Structure 1
Amino acid sequence: MSLSLLLLLLLVCSAQASHYYGSVMTYYPKTTNADGSMTVDLHYNLNIHCGSVFTVLTCSSNNCGTAVVHSVSKESDIFTWCQNEGLVTLQVPPNAPFQLLLSGGAWINFIRNSIGSVKAVTLVEPRNRSDTSQANRSPQTNILALVRVPSNCPRDFNLLTFDLDGDQVKCRYANSTLSECDQCTPPSVLNLSTQSCILSFSPTDSINEGPWAVQLVMEDFPTQNITLTRTDGVQTTITTNNAISQLPVQFVLRVDRAVPSCTEGLYLPKFLPPTPDNKAQLYAPVDETLEISINATANISMISDLLFSGPYNMNQTTLGAGQYILSWTPSENQTGESHPVCFVVQAVFNSVTYQSELRCVIVNVGYDPFPIPIFLGLRMKVSALFSLSEDYIIDNIVELIRAELLSQGLPSDLPLKLNFSTTAPSAVSP
């Protein structure tokens, strides 16, 4: 059965013309067979209006092979949008680059930058690299279908950019000249930093309130010239100015009416520890359940729910208002992969919805860079004009030590153990 037909059967539910909230796709080359064919796993998050029909994913260039689809559809934001999270396993005859096209249907109604039809392009590059002696792996990223910001509040959307090959990852708006979109008007309320993939929103007039379609392209560039080789021996040189692969990152930005205060923790939810930092790297051994704790507070509005996008079999548990756990158990087949997880917390006040900042983390599967506990003794002598309590040391000095360890590449969930002594300086050991 063809790839196009498989996804068509998977996603059709009922007819609705304007339904699309965006999509994100990434891929992993898995194995190269003796006959030169290759297995490639394509991960997708497809966001649509709940209960709607969607388009098809077709092979638009070269041979994309045959496909097997695994998918889970869930209500991510009830009565608004649902997310189809899935995995397409492709059996590709040669390990040559090929292009997948997501098209058909239309974005949701009332898009401010006048974008109607849906088009998203993924360029899969599975050839072997001369610098890693492995098939190229795409950047890893994710985003929610709908992110919100009040019209009077500045906010940066610092997109996740993670690449297992160590490539430089850049973002740009989709280009109609390159046939990456049918209508390619960027949202005027956002400024994009192509080098860092940061979308910056500045306070704007109420006339700009409403939904905006964001159509980005994420690409990986080698840090030195490399050679890509097919199984039949054909080689291509890629310079630092050439993108290797290409991913679509599409979503809706909704500019809401002004909020009385932009200070986090009042109307806008504020994250609290132990919520992982944005772009934190977490580690999940195969067949063991990883739990990500997320805490948030809002003193004036009422926290209503957590929205997240991650692996298709990730589960959410609500412990109480503003307290959540995301749990996921990776399988043996996912060893060596890295999976992005993005989330926001929502709150409501007088029927108005507010979102926290967007945070995304990377979950590395099957290995731990610190499998053996590291005991690093840091002896400190602290002079002060007043007596220092243990609480003061924990709240101030230890956090300075943690920040320094993180800057040296240690994971964000690294535990710190304190040993206090009345006759010697305090010692801190991870």
Structure 2
Amino acid sequence: MLSFVLLLLLISGAQASYYGVVFSYSIGDLQPDGYPESNNFKVSFSSCAEFNSWLCDGECSEFPVYPVDERRSDWCQTAYIETFSTSFLTASDSPFHATNWTENRNGIELSAATRLIEIRNRSDINKPNSSPQTTIIPLLRVPSNCQRNINLLVSDPDGDDIRCRYAAGSECNICTPPSVLSVSSSCSLSFSPTNSSNEGPYAVQMVMEDFTGQNITLTNSSGVQEVKTTSDSISRIPVQFVFRVDPAAPSCTEGEYLPRFLSPTPEHGAQILTNVNQAVEIIVRAEATQAE
């Protein structure tokens, strides 16, 4: 973990086109050498080469990284995964600074985020906490004249309640939220039609937290305890991306200029079960009869 944070800090002053990050962590069942922990960083830049240069000076063959997706004219999202065993149960509130945001309308220059990693033992599940799990593409696009609602896909390994909000205070360098986008506690993004003067890209800096439905006790490796109530978040992860308002579309009817999903595309939020190391095929079909 420390080496990754140091890399982030070293390049914080370099010129880059940062498109955001999604972080999550998960804790497995107790093993002889401790609890298996996996930390997952999905980091996005304008290109995959830029990510490689940022993380490992262009040579990432020895690093646990893999490409997630890429749109060559806009962005590349790459995952960096750390796995290890931990036996020291504690909580760490660790800020990190990445690099320069891509150009945006709300004036965010240097990126920053915080991660509250809570791995003290929970009294309700008798193991450390795992964070909420989510993902998002680095660039969301909407026409300036079309109402759009986007419900983020979220889950929690411990069955906790997940809530979203905009970052504030030390959770960001400059925290100005995009004026054209609202976020609800249920992790729904809402965009209302706006005029052409508001078109362009916006940096979105969100925070996702998990809450329990009952009071619980957290115990660290020294036996020191802390009570968390239903109004106290347990962990906190950053969700950052770019939201771009495009010029108005001739029509907001899905299937004409805006894509419409067709069968056999899975429903939003559908759960697909598979075995470990088994390939999964998901067929997605869409149409926009008046556009490509």
TM over 0.5: yes
Q: Indicate the residue corresponding to 2:219 in structure 1.
A: 229
Tell me, in whole angstroms, the C-alpha distance in 1 between the residues paired with 2:84 and 2:244. Answer: 35
1:207 aligns to what SS in structure 2? helix
1:82 aligns with 2:86: no
Match in the other structure for 2:45? 48
Secondary structure of the 2:112 match is strand
RMSD after superposition:
2.5
Q: Tell me how far apart the structure 2 counterparts of residues 275 and 185 of structure 1 sit (CA, whole Å).
A: 36
Letter of the aligned partner of 1:228 in structure 2? L
Q: Who is 1:18 aligned against?
A: 16
How far apart are the structure 1 equivalents of 2:272 and 2:123? 29
Q: Deviations over 1:149-195 (max 9, x none)?
A: 0000000111122112121111111012xx1001000111012211x
Note the alpha carbon deviations across 1:300-332, whole angstroms, 9 max, x for none. 112xxxxxxxxxxxxxxxxxxxxxxxxxxxxxx
Q: 1:220–1:253: structure 2 CA closer, same or farther, 3 Å change rule? A: same
Q: Say which one has the larger Rg.
A: 1
User: Does residue 145 of structure 2 align to residue 147 of structure 1?
Assistant: no
- After superposition, the C-alpha distances for 1:20-54 in whole angstroms (9 at most, x for unaligned) are 0001011111354557x543101121001113267
Aligned to 2:246: 256
Query: SS of the counterpart of 2:284?
Result: strand
* 2:90 is aligned with 1:96: yes
The whole-number CA distance in structure 1 between the counterparts of 2:209 and 2:124 is 18
Q: Is the 8 A contact 1:115 1:185 kept in 2?
A: yes
C-alpha distance in 1 between matches for 2:74 and 2:208: 26
Q: 2:110 aligns with which of 99, 112, 117?
A: 117
- State the shift of 1:16 in Å: 6.2
What is aligned with 1:193? 184
Q: Partner letter of residue 76 of structure 2?
A: C
2:5, 2:96 within 8 Å by CA — same for their partners in 1? no
Aligned to 2:58: none
Matches within 5 A, 1:102-251: 102-109=96-103, 111-176=104-169, 179-194=170-185, 196-251=186-241
User: Pick from 26, 29, 36: which aligns with 1:39?
Assistant: 36
Structure 1 counterpart of 2:121, which letter? N
- Residue 28 of structure 1 corresponds to 26
Query: 2:14·2:100 contact (CA, 8 Å) conserved in 1?
Result: no
What does the per-residue CA deviation read over 1:216-235, in whole Å, with 9 as the maximum and x for residues that have no partner?
00000111101112233222
Compared CA separation, residues 146 and 279, structure 1 to 2 (3 A) = same
Matched length: 283
Letter in 1 for 2:144: S
Q: Point out which structure has higher relative CO (alpha carbons under 8 A, 6+ apart).
A: 2
1:115-159 CA-to-partner distances (Å, cap 9, x unmatched) read 110101111111221112222111111111001000000001111
> Aligned equivalents of 1:31 and 1:7: distance in 2?
30
The runs of 5 or more residues in structure 2 that have no matched partner are 56-61
Q: Is the Cα–Cα contact under 8 Å of residues 260 and 288 in structure 2 kept in the other structure?
A: yes
User: SS where residue 277 of structure 1 aligns?
Assistant: coil
Contact 1:69 1:88 in 2 (8 A): no
Q: Aligned pair in 2 of structure 1 residues 120, 5: CA closer, same or farther (>3 Å)?
A: closer
What do residues 76-126 of structure 1 show as CA deviations (whole Å, max 9, x unaligned)?
Answer: 1113211111311244451111234331421002x1111110101111111
Structure 1 unpaired stretches of 5+? 57-67, 303-430
Q: Percent identity?
A: 45
Distance 2:151 2:212 in 1: 22
Whether the aligned pair in 2 keeps the contact of 1:6 and 1:69 (CA below 8 Å) is no
**Secondary structure of 1:291's partner?**
coil
SS across alignment from 1:52: helix
Change (3 A) 1:98 1:33: farther
Q: SS at 1:41's partner residue?
A: strand
Counterpart of 2:197 in 1: which secondary structure?
helix
**Which structure has greater strand proportion?**
1
Indicate the SS of the match to 2:4: helix
Quick check: 1:31–1:40 contact (8 Å CA) kept in 2?
Answer: no
After superposition, where does 1:265-304 map in structure 2 within 5 Å? 265-302=255-292
The amino acid of 1:47's aligned partner reads S
Q: What does the per-residue CA deviation read over 1:192-229, in whole Å, with 9 as the maximum and x for residues that have no partner?
A: 211x1111000001000000011000000111101112
Which residue does the alignment assign to 1:364? none
